[in-house]
Amino acid sequence: MKLVTADQMRAIEQSSVEAGVSLDELMENAGLAVAESVRDRWDTHNELFGKRIVVLVGPGNNGSDGLVAGRHLSKWGAKVTAALCAKRKTTDPKRELAESSGVEVVDATSDPRLDRMSKLLSTSDLVIDAVLGTGTSRPIDKSSTLASILFVVVESAAPVVAIDLPTGLNSDSGEFDIAGLPADETLMLGYAKLGAAIAPDSASLGDISVLDIRVPLELDSQITAELITEELALDLLPLRPPDGHKGTFGSTLILAGSKQYLGAVTMAIEAAVRSGNGLTFVATPDSAFRSIVGAVPEAMYTSLPTDSDGELLASTAASTALDLANRTTVVVAGPGIGTSPATAEFLKTFLSQVDEANPLVLDADALNILSGTHEWWTRIPNPAILTPHSGELGRLLSTSSEQIQSNRMDAVMEAAKKFDKVVILKGAATLIAAPDGRVNVSPWTNPGLAQGGSGDVLAGLLGGLLAQSPDELFEMASLAVFAHGYAADQARDEYGETGMRPTDVIQKLGHFYRDFAQ
């Protein structure tokens, strides 16, 4: 599902005009589609008749969409009131048509105490938010009449349907203004909006639908952002030929673990084994090996030599890991490996000598080690996927976690282009960026994943999937994020988001394959 910014949607609308579909036609199509969707809420036995609907009308095209929707709903028997929340043009044909169809128009801006609005809302069955749509680009003035109107609507507790986007939600960043109007349902027009997909808190959007407004086909070729849907995930699944064997499905080498972090490596291994790959190899420091060997019986374990303090003997350990890498399809490096000087020397030695054709998954401490290495990306020509959270990406880009979070989309695209690697920026609505500018967005938002170990599971799963399709880094990164999120949702359904554990997510990976790989 394509995701558009406000500017991209305006460009598509302009291209529609050039293709012979006027803005007025698009507006009429949009208003009708909204009205039909609203009617469907009640229209099992003509239940729309007599319903009291308030349309909040803004100054621009979104307000016009609302007036068109109100016109149709009034014709179908609803009692519709259009409340003007801002000044509109003196010549306003959509208002005139609405009024001629029985819509009552009131000027909410001329009611300083909003007594009339409060009374109107107290008996309303539904509010349609047609104030700003994708037009929100700056904060709402908290002392403005609009802010007061929106507050009265919120206080009324009437159900709200937003046209395109709730007023107050930034169409590009997903940030929601504290003075905005949360929706119970959002009806996006023509295309899904990027801000809705990457919103830090999707609660303000309610249920989401995308309505067909008859935009001419093939006008979205410049759109590079996409929401990962079930259909896309199905298309990305590696093939499983009936005569396949363990060699068919590739092999994964996991370089992970340390004497301090034993769980990380085990979770990465378990997820890799659940991925459908043919073989999973593990190389871990001897200080960890003695505790975890055989914990996942399907994996094959190798001990990396350490000194009496449990620190890696960098040169010898790198030689052992390189021998294993020569026999495997993909290398996953980083989960729980630590950042001691010896570990850093081991990792840098390994990465400088590993076959350039070997795809890499660089996670956790591998990223922290690289962030302290001058222009590390120029020394790693391998195809690679980086899996940072905002703090790790901040270190890689020499900025703060807060700066990354303030514009996650720009940050992940910058990193992918700068490093010439696929980058997964983990978090609510995880983002996957390719160096060529493509970005996929996870549909999952699950606070239950906000605990140590979740990233280790994703890294192992990703390594196993990439082993099966080693030439499709962006695609397998997107599939891994989707499968991980799906399994996490299954774990949340069973245990709740507070009680779920990363190991529960691993167990539920089987549900993903049960439900999708049929």
* Predicted confidence (pLDDT) per residue in 237-286, tens digit: 998 888 989 989 999 999 999 999 999 999 999 999 999 999 999 999 99
Write phi, then psi, for 457 (nearest 5 degrees).
-65, -45
Segment 306-327 mean pLDDT: 96
Report the pLDDT value the prediction gives residue 506, as an integer from 0 to 100.
97
Which residue, 303, 231, 321, 286, is CA-closest to 2? 231
Segment 55-66 mean pLDDT: 96
Report the pLDDT value the prediction gives residue 336, as an integer from 0 to 100.
96
Report the pLDDT value the prediction gives residue 135, as an integer from 0 to 100.
79
Segment 443-455 mean pLDDT: 94
**518 pLDDT tier (thresholds 50, 70, 90):** low
Measured CA distances, 339 to 261, 274, 304, 353, 362 (Å): 11, 28, 16, 20, 14
Q: Is the pLDDT of residue 307 over 80?
A: yes
Report the pLDDT value the prediction gives residue 47, as an integer from 0 to 100.
87
* % residues pLDDT > 90 (the chain): 91
Pick among 2.30.330.10, 3.90.1150.10, 3.40.50.10260, 3.40.50.720: CATH of 3-223: 3.40.50.10260
* % residues pLDDT > 70 (the chain): 99
CATH of the domain spanning 230-236+245-516: 3.40.1190.20
Across all residues in the chain, what is the average pLDDT?
A: 95
Q: Is the pLDDT of residue 45 over 70?
A: no
Which residue, 255, 270, 252, is CA-closest to 329? 252
CA distance 471 to 469: 6
Report the pLDDT value the prediction gives residue 112, as an integer from 0 to 100.
82
Write phi, then psi, for 488 (nearest 5 degrees).
-65, -40
Q: Is the pLDDT of residue 43 over 80?
A: no
**Residue owning tokens 């293709």:** 19
CA distance 474 to 408: 18
Q: 239-243, 361-365, 507-511: lowest mean pLDDT where?
A: 239-243
Token pair for residue 315? 């040169």
CA distance 316 to 325: 14
Report the pLDDT value the prediction gives residue 108, as an integer from 0 to 100.
94
Q: 105-114, 315-324, 407-416, 485-494: lowest mean pLDDT where?
A: 105-114
Report the pLDDT value the prediction gives residue 111, as an integer from 0 to 100.
85
Q: Is the pLDDT of residue 200 over 90?
A: no
**429 pLDDT tier (thresholds 50, 70, 90):** very high
**Strand 431-433 relative to strand 439-441, pairing:** antiparallel
CA distance 307 to 287: 9
Segment 91-103 mean pLDDT: 96
Q: Is the pLDDT of residue 517 over 80?
A: no
Query: Is there a contact between 412 and 423 (Cβ–Cβ < 8 Å)?
Result: yes
* Predicted confidence (pLDDT) per residue in 99-158, tens digit: 999 999 999 999 888 999 999 999 999 999 999 998 777 789 998 999 999 999 999 999
Polymer length in residues for the chain: 518
Judged by DSSP in three states, 62 sits in helix
Report the pLDDT value the prediction gives residue 79, as an integer from 0 to 100.
97
Which residue, 301, 241, 320, is CA-closest to 276? 241
Segment 425-452 mean pLDDT: 95
CA distance 160 to 127: 5
Q: What are the residue ranges spanned by the domains of the chain? A: 3-223, 230-236+245-516
Query: Is there a contact between 470 and 330 (Cβ–Cβ < 8 Å)?
Result: yes
Q: Cα–chain-centroid distance for residue 248?
A: 32
